[in-house]
Structure 1
Amino acid sequence: MSTPEPLALPETDAAEAWVRERTSTTLTHVRELAEQLRTSPPSRPIEVLKAWDELSLELGSLGGLAGLLANVHPVEAVRTACEDTEVEVDRLRTELTQDKTLYQVFAGLSAEQTAALDPLAARLLEKTLQDFTRAGVDRDDATRTRLTEINERLTELNLEFSRVTRDDVRITTATPEQLDGMPADWLEAHPVDDKGLVEITTDYPDALPVRMFVKDPSVRHAVTVAGLERGWPHNDKVLKEMFALRHELANLVGFEDWPAFDAAVKMIGDGPAIPEFIDKITGASEGRMKRDLEVLLDRYDRDAPGASAVSAADVLYYEELVRQEKYDVDSQVVRTFFDFAKVHQGLLDVTGRLFGLRYEPVSDVVTWHEDVSVFDVYQASEEAETSAPLGRIYLDLHPREGKYKHAAQFDLAPGVKGRQLPEGVLVCNFSRGLMEHDHVVTLFHEFGHLIHHVLGGQGEWARFSGVATEWDFVEAPSQMLEEWAWDAAVLQTFATDESGTPIPADLVARMRAADDFGKGYQARQQMFYAAISYWFHKEQPEDLTRRLEELQAAYSPYPYIEGTHFFANFGHLGGYSSAYYTYMWSLVIAKDLFSAFDQDNLFDPEVAGRYRDLVLARGGEKDAADLVADFLGRPYSFDAYAAWLIS
């Protein structure tokens, strides 16, 4: 079997025409494949499934490509063309999954015919039939027409919400005197303009250090508010329409509301279980939250006597003071050990050793921007001269205008053995110089998704390729990989200061202790976000700001900042919709997964190999609970998370 070739991307000046031509050609071919399956289906069920999977692979590959370039390409016309492609892909996907004739090709297979299918093919048939019914294939013509209209409009709204959030970069200005406390390298990268002011954007390499280090509370407040206000007021109406249409869609296919529809294909299984889980975490974190907040408020009171709560605009700054004074951790010292170039190489070295991989740089390929680095991924155990790549990864790690503003892994191509190499892209916005350790942790987290995409892209079915598990599990492998960014022995392999001295183990221990401070109220803040995600969809409130205030009072450790509208740029309301609880759900599982590793030898090849092969490499070939049980030898439990939370 020959090795598939990676995707060849176009030069910048040809990208728009290339995207539109590729879109037209691919959609035409997918329709041809669907027509063949509709009118002349194969006689054997396995061939029917292969035909559908080939169609799905082409459509998914086009959608992934468009979704990536819409968020990273420097040319606006290309981004717009890709957004158009995303709309067309979703329109055709809806059309196909609502096609009764196509549905009957699968539903009409007899028990006798399907009995010979192997377990994985049988799972594919089950999931395919589920996709059809969730799309409303069994509804009447008028309902299916309305579902098509809703899906198309939801795609447009999601793109609009994402675009507005991405492009709405707010700027705050401050005098050099107001920036007392800022690191020297940050100040050097932000020169004073001809008005005697320094500009601070809401991009997080700008804003996060200001919120952590600047002494002037008015500057911290202004930068925080600017970040909270991105997307407002435009996205208020976008979200209201989105929530209403999702609710209508769920009703039309037989569900009480959108959370119930969405949860039916997740580990949690049922919509009402979401607020139950939110309240479970809220209760479990209550004691730890109060203890941590008392410490934070005590330090805050020294500068703001009589305050009853710490403002969200001041939390990062006072956390930093507590780290310095209580734990002897100064983030400005810590960051001197995390030069971006060293962290970049260290990440590859650590994950290569852990998962038995080798990354070979690729220089003779076209990318969408000069910042992007490319690597082919190989099994480390194979000879370089004879081995075939497992996949290709792209790292796009610095901010620029028009680019996605947060950190995420994007699929460029799903992998199917012998047919298509898995290709994934890490899109982040890190400093080119010294990094905050939090950003190092984020880099490890997002790289975990990338590894999952490549290792899980070696199977035979596109439907199960890569990160294809239930959405409330997908964060668990990445959250677990964060642990390697907290281990002193691991960090000392790449975290060195300007003189080459590795980060001291006792400093890492203090960093870990300082990081544990606040985990109670951080858990509660996550439950605030989860509550917004769930109740906005469940209730569809007319006044989103007022409901935000109520939920913040009920769940958040911080008081509402008057006049702000965080939901307008809460990007997960687009992709995760009502299921932001999944971050904490995944963390519960991640802590349990990590309990299987030897804390004194995080590179134990036996444990790491089992985890790689039984969890990551299986993609979506099993339910997530079964994947975890295969690795742990038992069902996952809440115990490891609870012990960590209260410790």
Structure 2
Amino acid sequence: MSTDNNPLLQEFHTFHNTAPFSLIKESDYESAFAKAIQIAKKEINSITENTEAPSFENTIEALDSSGETLGRISSIFFNLNSAETNDEIQRIAREVSPQLSEFGNDVTLNLDLFKRVKAVYDQKNDLDLTEEQKTLLDKQYKRFSRNGANLTDDKKVRLREIDSELSKLTLAFGENVLAATNDFEMHLEDDSRLAGLPESAKEAAAETAKAKDKTGYVFTLDYPSYIPFMTYVDDRKLREEMSKAFGKKAYKDDHDNQENVLNIVRLRYERAQLLGYETHAHFVLEERMAKTPETVIQFSQEILEKAKPAAQHDFDELTNFAISISNQSEISESITKLEKWDAAYYSEKLKQRLFSLDDELLKPYFKLENVINGVFEIASRLYGLSFEETQEIEKYHPDVLTYVVKNEDDSLNSIFYADFFPRKGKRNGAWMTSFKGQWHDANGNNVRPHVSNVCNFTKPTATKPSLLTFNEVTTLFHEFGHALHGMLADTKYQSLSGTSVFWDFVELPSQVLENWCYEKEALEIFARHYETNEVIPLEYIEKIKAAANFQEGLQTLRQLSFGMLDMNWHGIDPTGITDVKAHERKTFDQTDLYPDVVSSCMSTSFGHIFQGGYSAGYYSYKWAEVLDADAFEMFKENGIFDRTTAKKFRDHVLSRGGTEDPMLLYTRFRGSEPKIDALLKRAGLIS
């Protein structure tokens, strides 16, 4: 197929060079990838065939700027594969992913290229380099040394085989989870079985049924459907059915991921061993703030020691409460012990009892459009940004919102895409990504990024706008914190820009922004009743703050368990593991207070570590909580909208990307290294 008219290979003559989605056909991708790989190979050859002595400019900078076309196409394609996929896109992904792995290996295993990089690296002390340039040089050298450049030829061949196989396995893992999620639905005709469920959730379920040409109500495993169902439905047997369906995704079903899990961890281990590392976790953590698995384990155990007694107290309190009210209730089944399908239901009732606060009380104050405008206003007050919605930017789906983001001097800061509602071709969860990075081009122009937030919030219904739960509000703020990391990027090199930082540092900008959701001064900006425009009452704000640590022991234990499971897959020799569920239980037996559900297995749908980039890195969420609690203390001390503090955070954290060691960047902002005490105090785990 000719590539002459392929829009993916042309300059984008669009508004701010945004992706021309309407011009791109699915049939364009494979030929575009093939051509872009050819172009990138020529760019590499031009470096290796350069007869001049290797220098920082003709080797390191040239390598960093190579592959721009391939990167642009990959960003568009794989973002759509997550947010707007279909059978054909998934087929193409299976075809091109091994090709991309092979090309990546062609680069990192290119001996002539490595010799040039090493020649520059060996003379780094004699070069007059900026800190950013030193970091780029170090990163480029490690890109080769950590990916097999020093291996013998036979081991290089094996490395290529492993990487190709891993690219296929991780894709298959994700496809299975999506298919298993889409396969399940609970179809109910009987309205009486939905006692306890808010009208808004019933209306959404009725619209889902209508969209599927069914009468009654349809509930799915998508979070906006699943969470309200598990939180409010009185019928315990229905909650059990829904919970078990969620827990067994891709486990002993038509989309079973057990073999994928075992093969992924075995290949990652073999790869690490091939490169001279003890385990995959040792390989990964060399390029993290934590540095070693031992540090992660010690960190996790330190928090576990504080959290487990608090979690046990939370669990006992919830159990006693549930038994007490279930024995007195005519609408819910009497229980003798707490099961996992009871957790959200009775937690919500206990929260209402303790704080007279529930999501249905708060949701009218969190209309999606108001929350979006609120987070924009907070970004304006902190960083001087302004957001203007525009219809001039093409969208990959009608639900997507598009914005031009400007600085205080009216110059372009970035383009922002926001995609908030679930649909069939979109994976669950919430994430930030980009269609284009930030860097300074050869002419010195500051190329601005195209950033995207993708979430799965409750859709508007015929009678109500999209009203968010408070948890969804914090999710929106979290992902927008990542977006700010991308928007405020200001580095010379794209590979060091924005969120291109150590993975246990990348969650700091996202998690720190969540803190504004609990502050009166911030809530009053956007928390207004969708019908009356009344500002959220002060008593509700006080209750939100009071409830912030509700069941924090259980929540901390849950999050720690995920990080510990990750390390127990990736911090050991997994070759002897044959039973995914049995291995998983070794971790969860240390942290689970609820009885095990035999039919459930988390690992087979744990996309963060088996499809996303969090393998040996899930601990980073809790690690970053230490950073964000410590950082927000500074904002609290000086005022949550203090521009001087915000400027320091922008200058030393948000704008610097991965240009220096993250601990140095953080210390410049804060004046000292972070202390775990701020997190433990905020969580109520110590006084």
TM-score range, shorter chain: over 0.9
| 2:4 equivalent in structure 1 | none
Give the alignment's TM-score, normalised by structure 2: 0.89
Structure 2 residue 477 is the aligned partner of structure 1 residue 469? no
Range 78-87 or range 200-209, more displaced: 78-87
**Offset of residue 487 of structure 1:** 1.5
Distance 1:226 1:508 in 2: 36
Partners of 2:336 and 2:546 lie apart in 1 by: 26
Counterpart mapping for 1:189-588 below 5 A? 189-191=204-206, 197-233=216-252, 234-303=256-325, 310-379=338-407, 381-382=408-409, 384=410, 387=411, 389-417=412-440, 418=445, 420-432=447-459, 433-456=466-489, 458-497=490-529, 498-537=531-570, 538-540=572-574, 541-574=577-610, 575=612, 576-588=614-626
CA 1:490–1:105 in 2, change beyond 3 Å: closer, same or farther? Answer: same
CA RMSD of aligned residues (A): 2.2
Post-superposition Cα deviations, 1:512-532, rounded to whole Å, max 9, x if no partner, equal: 222311111111111111121
CA 197–229 in structure 1, closer or farther in 2 if over 3 Å, else same:
farther
Q: In the TM superposition, what whole-angstrom CA distance separates every residue of 1:562-616 from its partner, at most 9, and x where no partner exists?
A: 2112211111122211221111111111111111112683111111111111100
Paired residues, number: 639
> Is 1:32 the equivalent of 2:42?
yes
- Alignment-mate amino acid for residue 22 of structure 1: A
Identity of paired residues, percent? 25
Residues 111 and 190 (structure 1), Cα distance of their counterparts in 2 relative to 1, 3 Å cut:
closer
Q: Match for residue 175 of structure 2? A: 163
Q: 1:400 & 1:6 partners in 2: Cα distance?
A: 28
Question: For the residues of structure 1 that align with 2:675 and 2:539, how far apart are their CA atoms?
Answer: 32
Cα pair 2:487 2:498 within 8 Å, conserved:
yes
Q: Answer whether contact 2:323 2:337 (CA < 8 A) is retained.
A: no
TM-score by length of 1: 0.94
Is 1:643 aligned with 2:681?
A: yes
Structure 2: distance between partners of 1:638 and 1:461:
33
Cα distance in 2 between the residues matched to 1:85 and 1:368: 21
- Preserved CA contact (<8 Å) 1:264 1:270: yes
The secondary structure found in structure 1 opposite 2:386 is: strand
Q: Residues 539 and 557 of structure 1: is their aligned pair in 2 closer, same or farther, counting only changes over 3 Å? A: farther
Residue type at the aligned position of 2:592: S
Deviates more, 1:108-117 or 1:329-338: 108-117
Change over 3 Å in CA distance of 1:12–1:224 after alignment to 2: farther
Structure 1 counterpart of 2:196: 181
- The separation in 2 between residues aligned to 1:435 and 1:367, in whole angstroms, is 24
Give me the whole-angstrom Cα distance separating, in 2, the residues matched to 1:321 and 1:68: 39
Deviation at 1:499, TM superposition (A): 1.1
In structure 2, C-alpha distance between the alignment counterparts of 1:465 and 1:477, rounded to whole Å: 14
- The gaps in structure 2 that reach 5 residues or longer are 1-12, 328-333, 460-465
CA contact (8 A) 1:56 1:463 kept: no
* Superposed displacement of residue 197, structure 1: 4.7
3-state SS of paired residue (2:586): helix
Distance in 1 (CA, whole Å) between partners of 2:379 and 2:124 is: 46
Partner Cα distance (2:553, 2:666) in 1: 26
Give CA-to-partner distance per residue, 1:236-280, whole Å, 9 cap, x none.
Answer: 111110011000000000011111111111111012322222211
Q: Match for 1:143 among 155, 172, 187?
A: 155
> AA paired with 2:138?
E
- The CA distance in 2 between the partners of 1:115 and 1:337, in whole Å, is 58
| Residue pair 1:445, 1:478 contacting (<8 A) in 2 also | yes
Change (3 A) 1:36 1:404: same
Q: Distance in 2 between matches of 1:600 and 1:324?
A: 33
Q: Deviations over 1:119-168 (max 9, x none)?
A: 22122111111110110110100101110111111111111111221232
How far is the alpha carbon of 1:322 from its aligned partner? 1.1
Equivalent-residue separation in structure 1 for 2:638 and 2:351 (angstroms): 25
1:57 and 1:414 in contact (8 A); partners too? no
**5+ residue gaps, structure 1:** none
Query: 2:14 and 2:383 mapped to 1: Cα distance?
Result: 23
Residues 80, 407 of structure 1: alpha-carbon distance in 2 compared, 3 angstrom cutoff: same
Aligned with residue 23 of structure 1, among 18, 26, 33: 33
